[in-house]
Chain A
Amino acid sequence: MERFIQVIVDGVATGSIYAALAIALVLIFRSTGIVNFAQGEMAMFSTFIAWGLYAGGVPLGLAVLTTLALSFIAGMVIERGLIRHFEGGETLTLVIVTLGLFILLNSLAGWIWGFGNRSFPSLFGDSTFTLGGVRLTVESVGIVAVLLAVVGLLFLLFQRTKIGLAMRAAALNPESSGLVGVRVGRMLMLGWGLAAALGALAGVLVAPRLFLDVNLMGSVLIYAFAAAALGGFDSAIGAVVGGWVIGITENLAGTYVDFIGADLKILVPLAIIFVVLLVRPAGLFGRREVARV
């Protein structure tokens, strides 16, 4: 039983990391209408920056906060400097642009930091504690707490502030938003900035569990796509639930089903998505069928 609970908690923690990146994908999908294939590589690049600051002597917490701020700015710069020029054109063109950005960032990171592995320290240390007879890591619980805090802040931003209302409006209908004085371009910039910061958070949370290298986010991005698809590509709550479902089932299957093990467990979430999307093409929480790539 203790083992089972540990596997579940760990699954929720892993799922929370997928959820953070999935929310980033959802933010951009809702405002720009595309899936940002470069989201994972942007996060990887950010994680290297955090590592660089830390290796240079900056305390870890400060290094991470600085990285989140820098990523926010970089996300806005990417929207303004690159994506803006292709807005309103063919969706496929934009998707290809994000694929180009993927390759660019991956190569650039390799060129700057090399292709070797590095270990990245956990924000939460490696201590454990016992709760009701079950031994849990501080890290797992910390990751879940961070995700819940982030979701709470995003909820407040979008539901309770004027700028959040304007961001939602700009995503729903840019033309009508312009008529009430919302500067739609700035809202898109903000959306990309938020998404980049969220991705950076996912990166620094996942890096201690893997090794930091240029392909850090490869599999995480697949899981995040899966989480977003499962939840319905336009729902942040859906992304969280999707992330958790995938994290838990992946861990359960990897632990308890003999022939799956660590190598095949990536297939489990994909099987779940396949079944869910057959029954509910818009995802669990999605409002409309996702027609764009």
Chain B
Amino acid sequence: MTLHRRLVDWSLAGLLVLLPALVLKASLARGTASGMDTAFLRITAPLEAGVSWVVEGVGGLWNHYVWLVGVESENRELRDENDKLRKQLAATTRKAFDVEALEDLAVVKRRTPADTMGARVIGAPLSPQFRVIRIRLDRGEGDVAPGMPVITGTGPVGRVDRVYGGYADVTLMSDVSSSIEVLIPRTGGRGMLTGLGKPDSYACTIGWLEKQANPTSKVEIGDEIVTSGLGASFPPGLVVGKVSKISRDDGMFQRVEVEPAVDVSRVRAVEVLLAPPPPPDPDAKTKKRSEPAFGGKPL
């Protein structure tokens, strides 16, 4: 190799080294990718993406099916943590359910003028013959007596049957021995709601529902049924349920089936009405002069 050719060779090599120096300076000054960089990247990026896809696939196989060091212990830890979280979730759900029931009771208590006592449901009905739930009374033992109505925020539940200490059995309104005076507000018809004692539902029936003279006041499916207040047990106006079936219609009376408003299977807390609400004051609207607080009356 002659000196001349060697000089040319090294000069070209020097230029080739100088070229990236200039490119670097230009790219740093510009701050963004040049058109050539973008074009090269457009060509090479799919290749890199393809290689990355293949490598990740192989890596995934390796990690998921071959390299399983520590997976067992990690699984055990995760299972323990999962168990712990499940327990926490169950406890939280239970608490939320209780809080919801208590909030419901608080609303009932505020709305009900009568004296009431809160109670928690501690036993579900087990016998198909007797539709009874057992409740634990919140306070006092002597205040609750058999026959007292038991309600929730959505409507009546039944009546107290037996009381023993701080506990009581409540005969549900779906029990055959239960009877509640009811009224259909739309038609004005009255009747006695009794339980059907069905094993698969809490359905009730009104055997002799009075029909009014007006033919348009015939009971229809979906009609709302409320307590009438007669019998001085349940306060009037409590929604009992809705007519679900009309099983007989013989001129003067109708026989209907009622779907209760209260889902007894979900009831967790109830209110026992200790005393009937006070009767309405007949002189409520008349103005009365109040008695002087001190001193004698003027002659």
Partners in one complex: no
